[in-house]
Amino acid sequence: MSSRPSKTAPLFWLLFSGGGTASALLLPAMLFITGVAVAAGWMSDDELLAFIKNPLTRLALVGLVFLFLFHWAHRFRYALVDLGLSRIGTQAWLFYGTALAGTIVAGLGALRL
Amino acid sequence: MTPEINRPLPRSWWLRKPAYFKFMIREMTSVAVLAYSLLIIWALWAAADAQSFSTFYDFLRSPLSIGLHAVVFGLAFYHTITWIALTPKVMVEWRGDERVDPDLIAWNIWLVFVLVTVIVLVLVLA
Protein backbone atom coordinates (compact mmCIF):
# COMPACT_ATOMS: atom_id res chain seq x y z
CA MET A 1 0.00 0.00 0.00
CA SER A 2 1.30 3.41 -0.95
CA SER A 3 1.55 6.00 1.81
CA ARG A 4 0.84 8.86 -0.58
CA PRO A 5 -2.82 9.83 -0.94
CA SER A 6 -4.11 8.47 -4.21
CA LYS A 7 -5.52 10.92 -6.72
CA THR A 8 -7.84 8.36 -8.28
CA ALA A 9 -9.22 6.82 -5.05
CA PRO A 10 -12.00 9.44 -4.59
CA LEU A 11 -13.21 8.82 -8.15
CA PHE A 12 -13.46 5.06 -7.60
CA TRP A 13 -15.15 5.59 -4.25
CA LEU A 14 -17.66 7.91 -5.91
CA LEU A 15 -18.43 5.30 -8.58
CA PHE A 16 -18.70 2.60 -5.89
CA SER A 17 -21.22 4.66 -3.97
CA GLY A 18 -23.12 5.77 -7.10
CA GLY A 19 -23.37 2.16 -8.28
CA GLY A 20 -24.29 1.05 -4.77
CA THR A 21 -27.19 3.48 -4.63
CA ALA A 22 -28.36 2.77 -8.20
CA SER A 23 -28.31 -1.00 -7.61
CA ALA A 24 -29.94 -0.74 -4.16
CA LEU A 25 -32.85 1.26 -5.60
CA LEU A 26 -33.26 -0.41 -9.01
CA LEU A 27 -32.09 -4.03 -8.94
CA PRO A 28 -35.09 -5.51 -7.08
CA ALA A 29 -37.48 -3.98 -9.66
CA MET A 30 -35.26 -5.07 -12.57
CA LEU A 31 -35.01 -8.59 -11.17
CA PHE A 32 -38.77 -8.68 -10.86
CA ILE A 33 -39.11 -7.73 -14.52
CA THR A 34 -36.71 -10.35 -15.92
CA GLY A 35 -37.21 -12.98 -13.22
CA VAL A 36 -40.99 -12.81 -12.76
CA ALA A 37 -42.73 -10.73 -15.46
CA VAL A 38 -40.78 -12.19 -18.38
CA ALA A 39 -40.53 -15.66 -16.85
CA ALA A 40 -44.31 -15.76 -16.29
CA GLY A 41 -44.99 -14.53 -19.80
CA TRP A 42 -46.55 -11.19 -18.77
CA MET A 43 -44.03 -9.57 -21.10
CA SER A 44 -43.88 -11.20 -24.52
CA ASP A 45 -40.67 -11.55 -26.55
CA ASP A 46 -41.78 -8.73 -28.88
CA GLU A 47 -42.54 -6.43 -25.96
CA LEU A 48 -39.18 -7.14 -24.29
CA LEU A 49 -37.34 -6.64 -27.60
CA ALA A 50 -39.10 -3.32 -28.27
CA PHE A 51 -38.30 -2.20 -24.73
CA ILE A 52 -34.58 -3.03 -25.06
CA LYS A 53 -34.39 -1.36 -28.49
CA ASN A 54 -35.83 1.91 -27.19
CA PRO A 55 -32.94 4.46 -27.30
CA LEU A 56 -33.74 5.73 -23.80
CA THR A 57 -33.67 2.18 -22.40
CA ARG A 58 -30.35 1.52 -24.14
CA LEU A 59 -28.83 4.69 -22.72
CA ALA A 60 -30.10 3.86 -19.22
CA LEU A 61 -28.85 0.26 -19.43
CA VAL A 62 -25.34 1.29 -20.50
CA GLY A 63 -25.25 3.88 -17.71
CA LEU A 64 -26.35 1.26 -15.20
CA VAL A 65 -23.80 -1.29 -16.43
CA PHE A 66 -21.12 1.39 -15.97
CA LEU A 67 -22.17 2.15 -12.38
CA PHE A 68 -22.91 -1.48 -11.45
CA LEU A 69 -19.56 -2.79 -12.75
CA PHE A 70 -17.49 -0.11 -11.00
CA HIS A 71 -19.45 -0.77 -7.80
CA TRP A 72 -18.62 -4.49 -8.10
CA ALA A 73 -14.96 -3.82 -8.98
CA HIS A 74 -14.37 -1.67 -5.92
CA ARG A 75 -16.28 -3.69 -3.36
CA PHE A 76 -15.18 -7.11 -4.59
CA ARG A 77 -11.47 -6.28 -4.70
CA TYR A 78 -11.51 -5.03 -1.11
CA ALA A 79 -13.47 -8.12 -0.06
CA LEU A 80 -10.72 -10.26 -1.61
CA VAL A 81 -8.14 -8.31 0.42
CA ASP A 82 -10.24 -8.96 3.56
CA LEU A 83 -10.31 -12.66 2.70
CA GLY A 84 -6.51 -12.72 2.67
CA LEU A 85 -6.26 -12.64 -1.12
CA SER A 86 -4.48 -9.29 -1.20
CA ARG A 87 -2.17 -10.37 -4.05
CA ILE A 88 -5.21 -10.29 -6.35
CA GLY A 89 -7.25 -7.67 -4.52
CA THR A 90 -4.56 -5.00 -4.79
CA GLN A 91 -4.36 -5.35 -8.59
CA ALA A 92 -6.67 -2.38 -9.02
CA TRP A 93 -6.24 -2.25 -12.81
CA LEU A 94 -7.57 -5.79 -13.13
CA PHE A 95 -10.92 -4.92 -11.53
CA TYR A 96 -11.42 -1.37 -12.81
CA GLY A 97 -10.13 -2.53 -16.20
CA THR A 98 -12.75 -5.30 -16.27
CA ALA A 99 -15.42 -2.76 -15.32
CA LEU A 100 -14.29 -0.40 -18.09
CA ALA A 101 -14.13 -3.24 -20.64
CA GLY A 102 -17.64 -4.38 -19.67
CA THR A 103 -18.96 -0.84 -20.03
CA ILE A 104 -17.40 -0.59 -23.52
CA VAL A 105 -18.90 -3.95 -24.54
CA ALA A 106 -22.33 -2.78 -23.28
CA GLY A 107 -21.93 0.52 -25.14
CA LEU A 108 -20.99 -1.21 -28.39
CA GLY A 109 -23.93 -3.57 -28.05
CA ALA A 110 -26.28 -0.63 -27.52
CA LEU A 111 -24.86 1.32 -30.48
CA ARG A 112 -25.20 -1.69 -32.78
CA LEU A 113 -28.97 -1.92 -32.27
CA MET B 1 7.91 -7.59 16.62
CA THR B 2 6.89 -10.81 18.36
CA PRO B 3 5.31 -13.61 16.34
CA GLU B 4 2.18 -13.27 18.47
CA ILE B 5 1.61 -9.69 17.35
CA ASN B 6 2.38 -10.45 13.73
CA ARG B 7 0.12 -13.50 13.66
CA PRO B 8 -1.78 -13.54 10.37
CA LEU B 9 -5.55 -13.89 10.44
CA PRO B 10 -6.77 -17.29 9.26
CA ARG B 11 -8.65 -17.17 5.93
CA SER B 12 -11.77 -18.44 7.67
CA TRP B 13 -12.00 -15.47 10.10
CA TRP B 14 -15.35 -14.45 8.57
CA LEU B 15 -16.94 -17.77 9.59
CA ARG B 16 -16.22 -17.19 13.27
CA LYS B 17 -19.00 -14.81 14.21
CA PRO B 18 -22.43 -14.11 12.69
CA ALA B 19 -21.51 -10.40 12.42
CA TYR B 20 -18.37 -11.21 10.38
CA PHE B 21 -20.36 -13.58 8.17
CA LYS B 22 -23.02 -10.93 7.53
CA PHE B 23 -20.29 -8.45 6.66
CA MET B 24 -18.82 -10.85 4.10
CA ILE B 25 -22.24 -11.61 2.59
CA ARG B 26 -22.84 -7.86 2.37
CA GLU B 27 -19.59 -7.35 0.46
CA MET B 28 -20.35 -10.37 -1.76
CA THR B 29 -23.68 -8.86 -2.84
CA SER B 30 -21.43 -7.07 -5.33
CA VAL B 31 -21.20 -10.40 -7.20
CA ALA B 32 -24.98 -10.25 -7.70
CA VAL B 33 -24.55 -6.73 -9.10
CA LEU B 34 -21.88 -8.12 -11.47
CA ALA B 35 -24.15 -11.00 -12.50
CA TYR B 36 -27.01 -8.67 -13.41
CA SER B 37 -24.63 -6.42 -15.37
CA LEU B 38 -23.67 -9.45 -17.46
CA LEU B 39 -27.36 -10.19 -18.08
CA ILE B 40 -27.86 -6.59 -19.29
CA ILE B 41 -24.85 -6.89 -21.62
CA TRP B 42 -26.26 -10.15 -22.98
CA ALA B 43 -29.65 -8.46 -23.51
CA LEU B 44 -28.07 -5.59 -25.45
CA TRP B 45 -26.12 -7.92 -27.74
CA ALA B 46 -28.95 -10.44 -28.14
CA ALA B 47 -31.43 -7.76 -29.26
CA ALA B 48 -29.49 -7.30 -32.52
CA ASP B 49 -30.91 -10.39 -34.25
CA ALA B 50 -33.97 -12.61 -33.91
CA GLN B 51 -32.07 -15.87 -33.38
CA SER B 52 -29.92 -14.59 -30.47
CA PHE B 53 -32.86 -12.78 -28.95
CA SER B 54 -34.94 -15.93 -28.97
CA THR B 55 -32.11 -17.77 -27.13
CA PHE B 56 -31.98 -14.94 -24.58
CA TYR B 57 -35.77 -14.89 -24.10
CA ASP B 58 -35.94 -18.68 -23.76
CA PHE B 59 -33.19 -18.52 -21.13
CA LEU B 60 -35.19 -15.97 -19.10
CA ARG B 61 -38.11 -18.37 -19.09
CA SER B 62 -36.01 -21.41 -18.07
CA PRO B 63 -35.93 -22.91 -14.55
CA LEU B 64 -32.18 -22.18 -14.44
CA SER B 65 -32.81 -18.46 -14.95
CA ILE B 66 -35.64 -18.42 -12.41
CA GLY B 67 -33.39 -20.15 -9.85
CA LEU B 68 -30.52 -17.74 -10.52
CA HIS B 69 -32.92 -14.80 -10.29
CA ALA B 70 -34.08 -16.03 -6.87
CA VAL B 71 -30.49 -16.22 -5.56
CA VAL B 72 -29.52 -12.86 -7.08
CA PHE B 73 -32.72 -11.30 -5.72
CA GLY B 74 -31.86 -12.48 -2.20
CA LEU B 75 -28.40 -10.90 -2.43
CA ALA B 76 -29.66 -7.75 -4.18
CA PHE B 77 -32.36 -7.15 -1.59
CA TYR B 78 -29.85 -7.75 1.22
CA HIS B 79 -27.71 -5.10 -0.48
CA THR B 80 -30.71 -2.72 -0.53
CA ILE B 81 -31.35 -3.29 3.20
CA THR B 82 -27.72 -2.85 4.24
CA TRP B 83 -27.10 0.08 1.88
CA ILE B 84 -30.09 2.02 3.19
CA ALA B 85 -29.06 1.22 6.77
CA LEU B 86 -25.55 2.51 6.14
CA THR B 87 -26.42 5.68 4.25
CA PRO B 88 -27.40 7.80 7.33
CA LYS B 89 -24.09 6.80 8.94
CA VAL B 90 -22.14 8.12 5.96
CA MET B 91 -24.42 11.06 5.26
CA VAL B 92 -24.80 13.02 8.51
CA GLU B 93 -27.33 15.84 8.11
CA TRP B 94 -27.75 18.84 10.39
CA ARG B 95 -30.75 21.06 10.83
CA GLY B 96 -29.36 24.04 12.72
CA ASP B 97 -27.59 22.59 15.77
CA GLU B 98 -29.61 19.40 15.73
CA ARG B 99 -28.58 16.26 13.97
CA VAL B 100 -31.33 14.89 11.71
CA ASP B 101 -32.49 11.53 13.10
CA PRO B 102 -30.62 8.77 11.16
CA ASP B 103 -33.77 6.61 11.22
CA LEU B 104 -35.72 9.40 9.54
CA ILE B 105 -33.15 9.54 6.74
CA ALA B 106 -33.28 5.74 6.33
CA TRP B 107 -37.08 5.69 6.21
CA ASN B 108 -37.05 8.43 3.58
CA ILE B 109 -34.70 6.39 1.43
CA TRP B 110 -37.05 3.40 1.84
CA LEU B 111 -39.83 5.66 0.59
CA VAL B 112 -37.67 6.59 -2.42
CA PHE B 113 -37.01 2.87 -2.98
CA VAL B 114 -40.74 2.09 -3.03
CA LEU B 115 -41.46 5.02 -5.39
CA VAL B 116 -38.61 4.07 -7.75
CA THR B 117 -39.75 0.43 -7.78
CA VAL B 118 -43.36 1.37 -8.56
CA ILE B 119 -42.32 3.86 -11.27
CA VAL B 120 -39.97 1.36 -12.97
CA LEU B 121 -42.57 -1.43 -12.89
CA VAL B 122 -45.33 0.85 -14.22
CA LEU B 123 -43.09 2.29 -16.96
CA VAL B 124 -41.87 -1.11 -18.13
CA LEU B 125 -44.89 -3.36 -17.59
CA ALA B 126 -47.92 -1.09 -17.99
User: pLDDT per residue over A60-84, tens digit each?
Assistant: 999 999 999 999 999 999 999 999 9
B10 falls in which pLDDT band (50, 70, 90)? confident
C-alpha span between B95 and B100 (Å, rounded)? 6
C-alpha span between B14 and A82 (Å, rounded)? 9
Q: Domain tally for chain A?
A: 1
**Residue A6 lies inside a defined structural domain of this protein:** no
How would you label A71-104 residue by residue, b for 16+ Cβ within 10 Å and e otherwise? bbbbbbbbbbebbeeeeebeeeeebbebbeebbe
Residues of A in contact with B117 (CB under 8 A): 25, 28-29
**Residue B56 lies inside a defined structural domain of this protein:** yes
**Cβ of B61 under 8 Å from any chain A Cβ?**
yes
Phi, psi of A40, deg, nearest 5: -85, -5
**Residue A107 lies inside a defined structural domain of this protein:** yes
DSSP category for residue B94: E
CATH of the domain at A66: 1.20.1300.10
Compute and round to an integer the Cα radius of gyration of chain B: 21
Confidence at residue B85, expressed as pLDDT on a 0 to 100 scale: 96
Q: Domain tally for chain B?
A: 1
Residue of B nearest to A49 (CA): B47
The whole-number average pLDDT for the span A50-64 is 97
- The residue length of chain A stands at 113
DSSP letters, A27-51, are: HHHHHHIIIIITTTTSS-HHHHHHH
**Residue B68 lies inside a defined structural domain of this protein:** yes
**Residue B98 lies inside a defined structural domain of this protein:** no
**Residue A4 lies inside a defined structural domain of this protein:** no
C-alpha span between B60 and A34 (Å, rounded)? 7
A2 falls in which pLDDT band (50, 70, 90)? low
Substitution target in A45, A47, A80, A105 with the highest count of B β-carbons within 10 Å is: A45
> Could you report the predicted ipTM of this complex, rounded to two decimals?
0.94
Smallest Cβ–Cβ distance between B113 and the set A25, A38, A48 belongs to A25
**Residue B46 lies inside a defined structural domain of this protein:** yes
C-alpha span between A69 and A62 (Å, rounded)? 11
B66–A53 C-beta distance less than 8 A = no
Residues of B in contact with A75 (CB under 8 A): 27, 30
User: pLDDT per residue over B18-69, tens digit each?
Assistant: 999 999 999 999 999 999 999 999 999 999 999 999 999 999 999 999 999 9
